[in-house]
Every structure is written in structure tokens, then in C-alpha cells.
């Protein structure tokens, strides 16, 4: 991910870094190159505009002209502004004062939620926490089994509706038409949180259903689960490979469930990745984690400064 963008910007900066003197026209040419590189990488237009105008303002100002090495100074400005676009500071998980901390996962089907539940659980365990996963994705009967497999791999217990309760799953599928029952995801989410409390687990991660595309029923279900369990964090999981659609999906989920943080998944892919760079700026919510593969350990805390360096160096 970001290889192309990174190569292009490296080339742009190579010349600039070596310049002892930087003229306004050098700066304008550099900004033009950056703009094209970002747009080619799929970064959304409003984000590109905000970014280049900040860079231009600072680069054309006294900051550069008085600097000892103006070329390097421009590179630094671009780096600073990229860090800002990516959310500025690393944002840690907000832990509840009264455990358990409740983390709800939301996102489209296939975005990597279930996989992430295991990764996050494993990572939290490494940090000394005692997580539990809750299978409130009752859309597909397989999703529960999948979470159980993921939990086992991560060594994290899973709360799921009673096995073989197909009627329960069916009830969940009919969510929205008034059907409630054992398999109602809201009930399961609530029971899962209560169970975590009973077992004195300090973090509970609730996996929810996704669909292939955004629809009002899905969003309503996610919003209803949110109101029922009052999570400390709602993490929106988004596949970084889906390009511009990632930004539209983020906006829809931001309106629908008001998530508190973003997880970029599939950052190991070779898509252009620019959409992923737009999400923090467009939604005003921080990117908190990155998922970088199919294995439990392919997971990292998202550091805007490190990501910016990775793109620019």
C-alpha cells in the first residue's frame, strides 16, 4: 500500500532537498506534483485541497525563505501536514472507569471485522487485559462459528448464542420486520456484555453484522446495538482496498452509528490507498489501528507520524 505514492513523492522531494535556495516557483511546482500524486493515489479532492493549501501557505511564508536549508524545510512542512491529515496524534483506546470497557465493531461485510475482533483481543491480552468477544453478527450463521475460530486462535473466550439455535439465527435475519428472540443481535450483545461483567473480563469486543452495501436496516441495527450497550468505543472497520468507496462508506457509518475511531484493514494490499488517507480528515475521527494481513498478529496501533514517514521516505 502507498508504494506508488511514496515513490512519486520521493522523486519530487529529491530535487528539492538538494536545493540551497528555493524560489516561489519551485514551491509551486512541488505543490503541483504533490497534488497530482495524491489525486492519482485516490486521495479525495477536498482532502487534497485542504492539504495543498496548508502546505502552500506555510511554504511560501517566511518559514521556508529564512530556513537554513529551504528544500528540507518544505519536505518537513509536507510531513507535518500529512501527519495532521492522518489525525495528528495516536489516539489510544478510551478505557471505561468501570470495567468492562465495551468496544463495538461496525463496518461492511467483508471489511475484516471478525478477523479484527481476534487481533484486537489478542493484542489487548498482550497488554495485560482480559478481553472477551461477543458474536452479535447473526446475519450469517457462519459468522458466529467464524468468530469462535478466531477467538480460539487468539486465545480469547467468545460469547455466542446457543449453538444450533437455527431458529434464533433466522429471527436475527428477519430483524426489522418485528421479529425478536434469542437470536436477536441486540439481546445477544447485551447478554454478552453482562456475561463479561459477570466473569470480570475488563474489555468486551462486540462483533456486529455487516452487509455488502450500506442499507438503512443494517445501519438501524448497528445504531440499536449502540444504544443498547452504550460502548466506550465504536470502531469502524474499513477495507482500505475499496478505493473511494471507503470514504463514502465512512461518511455513511459516521452518520449512522457515530463511530469513535477507525480501523484500516487490508493495508497489506497493493491498492493505491489514498482513500484511507482521506478518512480521518473527512469524518473527523481518528484512525486508531491498522490491520495488515490475515493472521492474528497482523495488527498495529496506527501512528500518524510513522505512517507519514513511511509514505514520504
Q: Is 210 in the site for ligand GDP (CB under 6 A)?
A: yes
Q: How many CB atoms lie within 10 A of CB 125?
A: 15
According to DSSP, the β-strands at 287-291 and 299-301 are: antiparallel
Q: Is 70 in the site for ligand GDP (CB under 6 A)?
A: no
Q: Is 111 in the site for ligand GDP (CB under 6 A)?
A: yes
Q: What are phi and psi of 291, to 5 degrees?
A: -105, 130
Q: How many CB atoms lie within 10 A of CB 284?
A: 9
User: Among residues 30, 79, 101, 114, which is the contact residue for ligand GDP, using CB under 6 A?
Assistant: 114
Q: How many CB atoms lie within 10 A of CB 25?
A: 8
User: Among residues 293, 300, 303, 305, which is the contact residue for ligand GDP, using CB under 6 A?
Assistant: 293
Q: Is 268 in the site for ligand GDP (CB under 6 A)?
A: yes
Q: Is 147 marked as binding a ligand?
A: no
Q: Which stretch binds ligand GDP (CB under 6 A): 41-49, 121-129, 254-262, 293-301?
A: 293-301
The footprint of ligand GDP on this chain (CB under 6 A) covers a number of residues equal to: 18
Pick between residue 55 and residue 105 the one whose CB is nearest to ligand GDP: 105
- Cβ atoms of residues 263 and 87 within 8 Å: no
Distance from C-alpha of 232 to C-alpha of 212, rounded to nearest angstrom: 26
Q: Is 265 marked as binding a ligand?
A: yes
Distance from C-alpha of 302 to C-alpha of 299, rounded to nearest angstrom: 9
Residue 159's Cα: distance from chain center in Å?
24
Q: Is 294 in the site for ligand GDP (CB under 6 A)?
A: yes
Q: How far is CA 203 from CA 44, 60, 120, 124, 231, in A?
A: 35, 49, 10, 8, 11
Pick between residue 1 and residue 55 the one whose CB is nearest to ligand GDP: 1
Stretch 238-267 residues interacting with ligand GDP (CB under 6 A) = 265-266
Three cell numbers, residue 161 = 448464542
Q: Which stretch binds ligand GDP (CB under 6 A): 38-46, 91-99, 112-120, 303-311?
A: 112-120
Enumerate the known binding-site residues for GTP: 107-114, 207-211, 265-268
Binding site for ligand GDP (CB under 6 A): 107, 109-115, 210, 265-266, 268-269, 291-294, 298
Amino acid at each position: 500500500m502507498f508504494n506508488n505514492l511514496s515513490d512519486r513523492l520521493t522523486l519530487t522531494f529529491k530535487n528539492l532537498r538538494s536545493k540551497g535556495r528555493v524560489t516561489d516557483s519551485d514551491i509551486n511546482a512541488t505543490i503541483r506534483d504533490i497534488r497530482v500524486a495524491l489525486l492519482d493515489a485516490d486521495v479525495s479532492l477536498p482532502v487534497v485541497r485542504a492539504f495543498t493549501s496548508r502546505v502552500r501557505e506555510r511554504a511560501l511564508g517566511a518559514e521556508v525563505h529564512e530556513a537554513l536549508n529551504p528544500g528540507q524545510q518544505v519536505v518537513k512542512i509536507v510531513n507535518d501536514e500529512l501527519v495532521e491529515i492522518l489525525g495528528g496524534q495516536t489516539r489510544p483506546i478510551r478505557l471505561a472507569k468501570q470495567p468492562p470497557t465495551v468496544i463495538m465493531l461496525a463496518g461492511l461485510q467483508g471489511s475484516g471485522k471478525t478477523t479484527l475482533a481476534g487481533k484486537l483481543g489478542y493484542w489487548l491480552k498482550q497488554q495485560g487485559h482480559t478481553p472477551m468477544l461477543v458474536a452479535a453478527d447473526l446475519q450469517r450463521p457462519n459468522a458466529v462459528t467464524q468468530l469462535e475460530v478466531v477467538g480460539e486462535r487468539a486465545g480469547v473466550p467468545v460469547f455466542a448464542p446457543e449453538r444450533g439455535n437455527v431458529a434464533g439465527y433466522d429471527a436475527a435475519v428477519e430483524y426489522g420486520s418485528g421479529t425478536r428472540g434469542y437470536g436477536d443481535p441486540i439481546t445477544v450483545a447485551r447478554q454478552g456484555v453482562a456475561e463479561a461483567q459477570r466473569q470480570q473480563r475488563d474489555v468486551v469486543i462486540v462483533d456486529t453484522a455487516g452487509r455488502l452495501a450500506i442499507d438503512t436496516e443494517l445501519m438501524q441495527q448497528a445504531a440499536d446495538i449502540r444504544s443498547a450497550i452504550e460502548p466506550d468505543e465504536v470502531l469502524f472497520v474499513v477495507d482500505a482496498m475499496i478505493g473511494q468507496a471507503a470514504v463514502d462508506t465512512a461518511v455513511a457509518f459516521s452518520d449512522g452509528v457515530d463511530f469513535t475511531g477507525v480501523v484500516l484493514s487490508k493495508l497489506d494490499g497493493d491498492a493505491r490507498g489514498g482513500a484511507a488517507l482521506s478518512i480521518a480528515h473527512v469524518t473527523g475521527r481518528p484512525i486508531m489501528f491498522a490491520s495488515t494481513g490475515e493472521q492474528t498478529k497482523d495488527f498495529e496501533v496506527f501512528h500518524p507520524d510513522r505512517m507519514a514517514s513511511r509514505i514520504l521516505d
